[in-house]
Amino acid sequence: MPTWAYDSYCNDNVMEYVEDFTKEDFLNRVVEDLDEYLQEGMETFNLEFIVGIGIYAIRLGKKFPKKSLILLRNVIECLLERNDFSSWVDQDKRIAKLGHEKKIMDNLLIDRSFSFDVLKKKPILFNSLNKNYYN
């Protein structure tokens, strides 16, 4: 599935999942879905998807329980430690973005306020930044 930016939510898998629901339904079920996905023991490439839907929900204003934030932070740490970034056009940018997303979790865990830029919409024409990303 194509990726258009280095943010975890910027790929077709995440957007297809999100678009299956209204915004309200997505935000109401995302914590339960993330917990279920993590309990099922997802493969590494699916961990990218888990982080993507979590980050997207957070950027929409979803307040996660601390337990879920810790799980998301742990998934990001796992990706940073074990993921092979060679399929990304710019490995360093993807690693830096995951590091930034980990800091988001850390800030949320200590209730530090911060703001986000505008969500990155999928452009009509683009070259995928990760040739091997699929579900």
What local confidence, expressed as pLDDT, does residue 78 receive?
Answer: 92
Q: Give the pTM.
A: 0.91
What local confidence, expressed as pLDDT, does residue 134 receive?
Answer: 57
Q: Which amino acid is at 130?
A: N
Q: Measured at the alpha carbon of residue 121, what is the angle toward residues 83 and 41, in degrees to the nearest 5?
A: 30
Integer Cα distance of 24 and 108 in angstroms: 21
Q: Which amino acid is at 4?
A: W
Integer Cα distance of 75 and 119 in angstroms: 22
| Domain segments of the chain as ranges | 12-109
> How many other CB atoms are there within 10 angstroms of residue 112's CB atom?
10
The segments of the chain whose pLDDT lies below 70 read 1, 41-45, 133-135
What local confidence, expressed as pLDDT, does residue 43 receive?
Answer: 57
What local confidence, expressed as pLDDT, does residue 135 receive?
Answer: 45
What distance lies between CA 49 and its chain's CA centroid? 6
What local confidence, expressed as pLDDT, does residue 92 receive?
Answer: 97
What local confidence, expressed as pLDDT, does residue 34 receive?
Answer: 86
Q: What share of the chain is helix, strand, coil (3-state, %, to 5)?
A: 60, 5, 40
What local confidence, expressed as pLDDT, does residue 1 receive?
Answer: 65
| Residue listed under structure tokens 């997207």 | 56
